[in-house]
Structure 1
Amino acid sequence: MSDTCDILISGGGIAGLTAAAAFGTAGFKVICVDPTPPIIDGTAEGADLRSTAMLQPARILLERAGLWDNLAPHAAPLQVMRIIDAGGAESEPRVTREFDAADISDQPFGWNFPNWLLRREMMTRLEALDTVDFRAGIGTKRLFTRVGGAKVTLSDESTVQSKLVIAADGRNSPMRTAAGISVRTQRYGQKALVFVVTHPTPHENVSTEIHRTGGPFTLVPLPDRDGLPCSAVVWMDDGRLIQERLEMDVAHFEDEASVRSTHHFGPLTLVSPRQAWPIVTQYANRLNAERLALIAEAAHVMPPIGAQGLNMSLTDIATLLDLAQERREGLGDAKMLEAYHTERYGDITLRVRGIDLLNRASQAGSTVARDARAAGLSALYSAAPVRKMLMQMGLGMR
């Protein structure tokens, strides 16, 4: 016998859990599955130690999903985005520019959260919703669709019949593959090293992105830890170099990270394990198939620059939610899903290409390319209308 629901969500990462909470709160009957149970303790083995900056528009969706009130006490506001070019002969700042949210809004750009904590609060919300059935340890296996609905076979050989299937199952999405949707992929030879540090100088709610070569070194504010200012770090560089740093002894690694940070907040002290992730750009050639919608990394993957990745995913969810509430009787039909593709695809491809260009600029190794990058940063910043437009575009307000 098959279970039935309005929406089956394949994938229980942050995007999948947010979608489950949003659609469940809106009154849809949801089944969400993921082959890997979420780790909701930051000290547990395998915990996701990355952090996510939720930009202003994301808060609206989190409120609609009943998540914001529980997340707010853990938020580290991001009031200023500081960009430093350190591409000279020595690893020291030569151009520093700050983008202040106060220039365009009475709110911060966004709020930063550890990923494991997001999962914890999202799981708590799902447990309170009688409209959501979350099944850990179970994945999706086969997809069969017809005009009137979809039938999905799960990894335990049970089946679910639903009006809409949402693929939130990652860059190697089994549901996207089952639907025959192809992707375009660009590799850079980079990896991102992620870890958490404390430092003597307060970050003052400033997210700092330092460019030299190989990729940016970004420090994103977190709440104080053991009485010391604390930041999440994403260090992008050539994959071979990242692997070497992953294996360094702690003292040597702290010294190298402090130098790469230009000692901006003083010496860095490692307070978490290190994890590495490959950097790619990838996007699906379509966001929909019969009874299927792609969101998050099933739809688009990009380098972690400008906090665009998950925030684009949340825009995917908000767009689908609006369409679903407008068309409850036609949930998951061709008209709804074509509207979803049309509304999101142009924005996704524009942002993917923009982040690709920024990443290539951040990799610059030659003196000429580094100087051009520094000059470009100064030119963009000096024109106030352009500066404001870039901030608004980064937030998804334009």
Structure 2
Amino acid sequence: MDTDILISGGGIAGLTAAAAFGTAGYRVICVDPATPAEADQRSTAFLQPAIGVLDAAGLWDDLRPHAAPLQVMQIVDSGRSGAAPRTTARFDAVDISDHPFGWNIPNQTLRQVMAARVADLPTVTHITGTATDRLMTRQSEAKVTLTDGTRIRARLVIAADGRDSPMRPAAGIGTRTTRFGQRALVFTVTHPIPHDNISTEVHRSGGPFTLVPLPDRGGQPCSAVVWMEAGPTAERLRALPQAEFEAAITDRSAGLLGALTLASPIGSFPIIAQMADRMGAERLVLMAEAAHVLPPIGAQGLNTSLADLAALLDLADPATLGDAAMIEAYHRRRHADAKARMMGVGLLNRASMTGLPPLQDLRATLLAQMHGIAPLRRSLMRMGLGVR
């Protein structure tokens, strides 16, 4: 089986890449180990620069009706359990743009819309329920064997197959990993107080507790939650009876949206920062979590991944697709930027983890200063979006 591009991985990043390159006219095979029945309880916040990529892939018109705008990013410092918030910094997109910072969409909806778009593209084949296994490359092509024995020849392999990518070690690319000793609990809640399109990070200790707006559910305001805590604490919390868990999340949210009601199963995953040594090798490039893993703070993870895709789309040319010059240009364009974002988000995470009162006081003071100086505030907002 021959193709222009083989995409290893059919998550949000992989399906977006399949839709984008298929829309551009390339022959694409997307190999997805998941099955259509598998559910993902998380949501994804797309920041402004990502919308252009979604639009070019023919996805945004179908996704927008399911998206909750993120007009305000709010950071709340709440020093201890039961205490009123000590410092609140609101970053409003109106200060730098006519559009919201971004839009948040449930992952199940994303996968449904993206899979439908890929199915409509005549040059794209979406293979589910199997994965990539072995890789062989030479100067002119790559040969990939799937776990079901199928063999595919491609001019370019895009590894979008996650932090445990099988294609990355097959290409001889190493990684450097930092473990924070945390886990993230991910779930959905409803609440009596409307979120007013405000995304809120509440900092106390252990890591941030983030409430991200979603469209209303059953006539009630709804938000996605990512709660980062020390690993043993996170697992203890996850095992609580529902009423006790709801009391814990309401307390941890500083009561900003009233009593929180659990509206989904609770997912859990470890928090790491991971960076590949290179963004590509012969006839292969890494993107998304195969290349870089960031703690889930500030919606930086997938948006860094879509910056990878934007670079690939810009560098792709039918005459030179997958050649050494393209691979090297992609590495130079994306590696330093992704590494800098990983380091910045890692520092923010460590600041949010501290439970020492003097360091909490310093964190609150710095937050107030960053928000209080208007030019600095606008600069930080642009930096978070990845624009100048």
Counterpart selection for 1:6 from 4, 9, 12: 4
Cα offsets for 1:330-359 (capped at 9, x unmatched): 100000010000001111011000000000
Q: Which residue of 1 aligns with 2:363?
A: 373
- Aligned partner of residue 304 in structure 2, secondary structure: helix
Deviation, structure 1 residue 157 = 1.1
Task: State the AA in 2 paired with 1:15.
Answer: A
Q: What is the Cα deviation at residue 227 of structure 1?
A: 1.0
Q: Which residue of 2 aligns with 1:323?
A: 315
Partner residue in 1 for 2:64: 72
The reply on whether 1:382 has 2:380 as its aligned counterpart is no
Distance in 1 between the 2:344 and 2:179 partners? 15
Amino acid at match of 1:315: A
1:169-215 superposed Cα distances (whole Å, 9 cap, x missing partner): 11011100101100000001100001111111100000011000000
Q: How does 1:169-188 map to 2 (within 5 A)?
A: 169-188=161-180
Partner of 1:272: 264
Moved segments of 4+, more than 6 Å: none
1:144 pairs with one of 125, 136, 148: 136
Q: What residue is the counterpart of 2:294 in the other structure? A: 302
Are 2:81 and 2:251, in contact at CA under 8 Å, matched by a contact in 1? no
Structure-1 separation of matches of 2:281 and 2:175: 14
Aligned to 1:24: 22
Checking the alignment, whether the CA contact within 8 Å between 1:91 and 1:260 is kept in structure 2 is: no
Tell whether 2:267 aligns with 1:287.
no
Identity among equivalent positions (%) equals: 60
1:209 matched to which residue of 2? 201
Instruction: State the alpha-carbon separation in 2 of the partners of residues 117 and 362 from structure 1.
Output: 31
CA distance in 1: counterparts of 2:359 and 2:36, whole angstroms: 42
Select 2:114's aligned residue among 116, 119, 122: 122
1:91 positional shift = 3.3
| Counterpart residue type for residue 216 of structure 1 | P
Q: Which letter maps to 2:71?
A: Q
Q: 2:334 aligned with 1:336, yes or no?
A: no
C-alpha contact 1:13 1:38 (8 A) present in aligned 2: no
Residues 199-257 of structure 1: CA deviation (Å, up to 9, x unaligned): 11100000011000000000000011111111000000011111011111110000011
Distance 1:89 1:14, change over 3 A: closer
Cα 1:189–1:131, aligned 2, differ >3 Å: closer, same or farther? same
Query: Are 1:157 and 2:149 counterparts?
Result: yes
1:360 match: 350
Q: Distance in 1 between matches of 2:150 and 2:70?
A: 44
Partner of residue 76 from structure 2, selected from 78, 81, 84: 84
Tell me: CA distance 1:7–1:321, structure 2 relative to 1, closer, same or farther (3 Å). same
Deviation at 1:383? 1.3
Q: TM-score, normalised by structure 2?
A: 0.99
Structure 1: any 5+ residue segments left out of the alignment? 40-45
How many angstroms apart in 1 are the aligned matches of 2:243 and 2:12? 33
Within a 5 Å distance, the mapping from 1:37-116 to structure 2 comes to 37-39=35-37, 46-88=38-80, 90-116=82-108
Show the counterpart of 1:242. Answer: 234
User: SS of the counterpart of 1:236?
Assistant: strand
1:229 aligns with 2:221: yes
Q: Secondary structure at the residue paired with 1:156?
A: coil
> How far off is 1:92 after superposition?
2.3
Task: Give the alignment's Cα RMSD to 1 decimal.
Answer: 0.9
Deviations along 1:343-396, whole A, 9 cap, x unmatched? Answer: 011110110000000000000110011001001101111111111111001111
Contact 1:209/1:217 (<8 A) preserved = yes
Aligned residue identity for 1:6:
D
In the alignment, the residues of structure 2 paired with residue 157 and residue 355 of structure 1 have an alpha-carbon distance, to the nearest angstrom, of 40
* Cα drift, residue 34 of structure 1: 1.6
Q: Which amino acid aligns with 1:385?
A: P
Return the TM-score normalized by structure 1: 0.96
Aligned equivalents of 2:149, 2:81: Cα separation in 1: 60
Q: Which runs of 5+ in 2 are unaligned?
A: none
Counting matched residue pairs gives 388
Look up the equivalent residue of 1:163 and give its one-letter code: R
SS of residue matched to 1:263: coil
CA contact (8 A) 1:88 1:94 kept: no
The answer (yes or no) to whether the contact 1:91–1:259 under 8 Å persists in 2 is: no
Aligned to 2:244: 252
Distance 2:211 2:255 in 1: 12
Give me the whole-angstrom Cα distance separating, in 2, the residues matched to 1:104 and 1:167. 35
